[in-house]
């Protein structure tokens, strides 16, 4: 029989008042659900015998019950789970909520509510249920069950009913406090670490009391395509949820469009109802997800990814849950922004350290190059080309004989362009060992080869945002040329021994004293790399072809050397000027500078006399810019290469190199093999 009208004696009412005071005092200090239930249980146990006692919370919108805390004997948890899984409509706890009444069942054998048969089957005959209401809103029920029939009387029902009001108030306060504390812990976790995977796992754990979930994950936006990735960046799931990989291959397109692109958060309480009109959600249901939420994550005002949370229960989330979920999303966005900024600062710091080491080495091995001095029309034309191309990001190939000042032009291109605030990194391809040039250019991972004891950043990475000057590029080995071509074409490369592509924004200026067209014909230089470098060629004429520059340069070098060496030199003799203009300067500007310095050291007056030194150089057999005669083999090789250039690489047939040289085809081919000449 069901009863809800309790009659008590004056003594029993006194006990109730005393118990209420004790419970109210105990509840005032509760800061968790465990503390809360312990206080209730301790106050009721002396008066209410039970095999099980507990609280179910109630969601008004979903009309669902959820067990909060239950005190159950060891042999009863299976039955308790079956009772929890009953549809709520015909249960006694649902009736208590609907009618806002307390119920006492003297014997479950005579009752007709949904829990009665299950309770009777496991030997539980007495049952009490009391609604918990605060501010006219039902929060749940408090219940107790016992083995013998008729265990509970009017006093016990009255005691439970009177305690319901303070218990409901305390339950609401503890719930709000628990939510607030959980969100505060989430904030503390986010402030404590910059490692996103670790942070997310800890946040997921802290959120379980207020946002229970089977799975939570972040899908990141691909920087290149702007689309959401098909696998999660980070994820967290409860133990035993084995369908994570299948579920996370892709989120439904509608969810991505709405939450990510339209910036509208999504709450789907029941996917089984939603799927009738949205078939692409079937994958989530197949994976065991029946309710979910999703919202956009932003970093610096741009979409970073999507935060997804799902649960295997139907109607797991309400509007208040979505508000907390959005708060978590905003905090995660801030945490990821801090993490990204920290990584960028850390990367920049490492790059600056590497640049500092590099620049110190450069300073140690280089002298001040000085400024470009020009009085000749030929060099003026070069400087005009330099100014035109400097303001672009175009790749430049600077050619010219040794000592003509190719590096000065390269530096001018850098300093006159938009990358002037960044470093110009120089690589002398001829000075690097063949087996180390790739490591020098592209860096290497630790252990990638013998002696690679630590990771090293290559010159390409050091030059990110700036300019990379490849001096003597014609001496680069073919293997390194292939990697250089890819870096130029795609803007990315891998370190030696590495697999992760590294993207860089680098302007390349190359220089060589070699005839690259002949090198291509010989097979020493890649044709595709040649055309990739020669987007904008600048040729610096040798000093002998711009005689107007010789004397101004000599004066500049003389005054600078005199100041540095503390010599009284201030002018050049007329004979010296005439001799300089007659001399061929095979070493170009570099030879002129060195010869001037030698003369300053030897000078005893303020007039610099270069005549003896220039004539001594002439007697070495180096005159008019040409070295002593080549060997017969060298001359023959050059002659064949010139013929192949003239015929476009054609060896035999009409108009071929064999016909041009007056040789049989077989003889020419044999000579080419011997001399190492390739078409």
Task: Give the structural domain span for 533.
Answer: 366-539
Residue 197's φ and ψ, nearest 5 degrees, are -60, -45
The predicted pLDDT at position 510 comes to 94
What contacts 24+ positions apart, CB below 8 Å, involve 310-313? 310/213, 310/214, 310/215, 310/216, 310/247, 310/284, 311/212, 311/213, 311/214, 311/215, 312/214, 312/241, 312/288
Percent of the chain at pLDDT above 90? 17
Q: What are the tens digits of pLDDT across the range 513-571? A: 999 999 898 888 999 999 999 999 999 999 999 999 999 999 999 999 989 888 888 88
For residue 507, what pLDDT band results from cuts at 50, 70 and 90? very high
**Distance (Å, whole) CA 573 – CA 329:** 80
**Distance (Å, whole) CA 679 – CA 669:** 10
Q: What is the DSSP letter of 542?
A: P
Residue with tokens 């509510």: 113
Handedness of CA 143, 144, 147, 148 (dihedral sign): negative
DSSP state string for 204-216: HHHHTTTS--SEE
Are 389 and 321 in a shared domain? no
Looking at 38-42, 146-150, 343-347, which range is the least confident one?
Answer: 343-347
Rounded alpha-carbon distances, angstroms, from residue 53 to 62, 133, 146: 24, 18, 9
Of 485, 527, 528, nearest in space to 508 by CA:
485
Last residue of a domain, one of 177, 205, 223: 177
User: Is pLDDT of 381 > 90?
Assistant: yes
The predicted pLDDT at position 532 comes to 92
Are 388 and 535 in a shared domain? yes
Query: Does the predicted TM-score (pTM) go above 0.75?
Result: no
Are 382 and 446 in a shared domain? yes
Element (H, E) at 98: helix 92-99
- Domain holding 655: CATH number? 1.10.10
For residue 619, what pLDDT band results from cuts at 50, 70 and 90? low
**Distance (Å, whole) CA 43 – CA 167:** 11
> Please, which residues have CB within 8 angstroms of residue 598's CB and are 6 or more apart in sequence?
613
User: 626 lies in a domain?
Assistant: no
User: 346 lies in a domain?
Assistant: no
User: 187 lies in a domain?
Assistant: no
Burial of 333 (0-12, 13-18, 19+ CB in 10 A): buried
The predicted pLDDT at position 71 comes to 60
Looking at 365-369, 465-469, 600-604, 630-634, which range is the least confident one?
Answer: 365-369
Are 249 and 138 in a shared domain? no
> Are the C-beta atoms of residues 20 and 163 closer than 8 Å to each other?
yes
> Are the C-beta atoms of residues 502 and 462 closer than 8 Å to each other?
no
Are 91 and 155 in a shared domain? yes
The predicted pLDDT at position 216 comes to 85
User: Is pLDDT of 460 > 80?
Assistant: yes
**Distance (Å, whole) CA 305 – CA 294:** 10
Last residue of a domain, one of 500, 518, 539: 539
Average pLDDT over residues 226-241: 64
User: 670 lies in a domain?
Assistant: yes
Are 589 and 476 in a shared domain? no
For residue 356, what pLDDT band results from cuts at 50, 70 and 90? low
User: 420 lies in a domain?
Assistant: yes
Are 511 and 612 in a shared domain? no
| SS3 assignment, position 647 | coil
User: Is pLDDT of 272 > 90?
Assistant: no
Give how far the C-alpha of residue 423 lies from the chain's centroid of Cα atoms, to the nearest Å.
Answer: 24
Q: What are the tens digits of pLDDT across the range 245-257? A: 444 455 777 888 8
Last residue of a domain, one of 325, 340, 355: 340
Average pLDDT over residues 267-284: 77
Are 270 and 385 in a shared domain? no
User: 186 lies in a domain?
Assistant: no
The predicted pLDDT at position 200 comes to 77
Are 16 and 90 in a shared domain? yes
Average pLDDT over residues 257-286: 78
Are 518 and 604 in a shared domain? no
User: 349 lies in a domain?
Assistant: no
Could you give the number of structural domains in the chain?
5
For residue 182, what pLDDT band results from cuts at 50, 70 and 90? low
- Domain holding 126: CATH number? 3.30.450.40
Rounded alpha-carbon distances, angstroms, from residue 235 to 102, 256, 260, 284: 45, 17, 18, 15
User: 184 lies in a domain?
Assistant: no
* Comparison of pLDDT for 187 and 202, the residue scoring more: 202
Average pLDDT over residues 293-305: 82
Are 371 and 475 in a shared domain? yes
- Domain holding 603: CATH number? 1.10.8.60
Are 158 and 12 in a shared domain? yes
Residues composing the chain:
679
The predicted pLDDT at position 366 comes to 43
Q: What is the DSSP letter of 110?
A: G
Average pLDDT over residues 339-344: 71
């Amino acid at each position: 029989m069901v009863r809800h009208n309790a009659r008590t004696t004056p003594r029993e009412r006194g006990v109730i008042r005393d118990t209420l005071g004790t419970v109210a005092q105990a509840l005032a200090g509760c800061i968790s659900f465990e503390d809360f239930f312990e206080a209730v249980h301790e106050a009721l146990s002396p008066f209410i015998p039970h095999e099980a006692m507990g609280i179910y919370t109630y969601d008004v919108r979903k009309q669902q019950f959820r067990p909060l805390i239950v005190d159950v004997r060891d042999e009863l948890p299976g039955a308790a789970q079956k009772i929890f899984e009953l549809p709520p409509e015909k249960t006694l706890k649902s009736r208590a909520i609907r009618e806002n009444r307390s119920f006492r069942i003297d014997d479950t054998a005579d009752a007709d509510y949904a829990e009665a048969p299950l309770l009777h089957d496991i030997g539980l005959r007495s049952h009490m249920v009391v609604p918990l209401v605060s501010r006219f809103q039902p929060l749940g029920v408090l219940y107790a069950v016992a083995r013998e029939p008729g265990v509970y009387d009017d006093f016990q029902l009255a005691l439970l009913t009177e305690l319901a009001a303070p218990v409901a108030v305390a339950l609401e306060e503890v719930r709000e406090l628990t939510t607030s504390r959980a969100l505060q812990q989430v904030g503390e976790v986010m402030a404590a670490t910059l490692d996103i995977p670790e942070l997310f796992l800890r946040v997921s754990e802290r959120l379980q009391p207020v946002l229970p979930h089977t799975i939570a994950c972040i899908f990141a936006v691909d920087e290149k395509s702007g689309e959401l990735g098909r696998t999660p960046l980070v994820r967290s799931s409860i133990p035993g949820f084995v369908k994570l990989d299948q579920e996370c291959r892709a989120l439904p397109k509608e969810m991505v469009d709405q939450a990510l692109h339209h910036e509208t958060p999504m709450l789907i309480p029941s996917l089984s109802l939603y799927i009738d009109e949205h078939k692409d959600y079937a994958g989530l249901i197949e994976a065991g997800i029946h309710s979910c939420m999703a919202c956009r994550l932003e970093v610096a005002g741009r979409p970073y990814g999507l935060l997804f949370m799902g649960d295997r229960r139907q109607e797991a989330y309400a509007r208040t849950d979505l508000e907390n979920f959005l708060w978590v999303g905003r905090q995660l966005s801030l945490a990821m922004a801090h993490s990204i900024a920290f990584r960028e600062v850390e990367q920049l710091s490492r790059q600056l350290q590497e640049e500092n080491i590099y620049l110190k080495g450069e300073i140690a091995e280089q002298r001040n190059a000085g400024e470009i001095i020009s009085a000749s029309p030929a060099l003026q034309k070069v400087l005009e080309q330099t100014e035109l191309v400097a303001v672009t990001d175009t790749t430049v190939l600077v050619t010219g004989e040794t000592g003509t000042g190719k590096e000065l032009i390269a530096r001018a291109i850098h300093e006159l362009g938009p990358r002037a605030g960044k470093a110009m990194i120089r690589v002398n391809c001829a000075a690097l060992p063949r087996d180390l040039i790739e490591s020098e250019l592209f860096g290497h991972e630790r252990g990638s080869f013998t002696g690679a004891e630590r990771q090293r950043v290559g010159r390409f990475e050091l030059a990110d945002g700036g300019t990379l000057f490849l001096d003597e590029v014609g001496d680069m080995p073919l293997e390194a040329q292939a990697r250089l071509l890819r870096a130029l074409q795609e803007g990315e490369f891998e370190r030696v021994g590495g697999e992760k592509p590294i993207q860089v924004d680098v302007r390349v200026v190359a220089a060589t004293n070699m005839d690259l067209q002949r090198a291509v014909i010989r097979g020493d230089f890649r044709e595709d790399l040649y055309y990739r470098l020669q987007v904008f060629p600048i040729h610096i004429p040798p000093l002998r072809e711009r005689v107007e520059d010789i004397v101004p340069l000599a004066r500049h070098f003389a005054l600078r050397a005199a100041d540095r060496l503390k010599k009284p030199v201030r002018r050049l003799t007329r004979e010296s000027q005439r001799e300089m203009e007659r001399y061929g300067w095979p070493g170009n500007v570099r030879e002129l500078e060195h010869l001037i310095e030698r003369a300053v050291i030897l000078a005893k007056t303020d007039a610099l006399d270069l005549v003896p030194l220039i004539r001594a150089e002439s007697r070495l057999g180096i005159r008019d810019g040409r070295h002593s005669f080549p060997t017969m083999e060298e001359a023959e090789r050059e002659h064949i290469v010139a013929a192949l250039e003239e015929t476009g690489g054609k060896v035999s047939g009409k108009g071929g190199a064999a016909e041009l040289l007056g040789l049989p085809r077989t003889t020419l081919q044999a000579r080419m093999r011997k001399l190492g000449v390739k078409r």
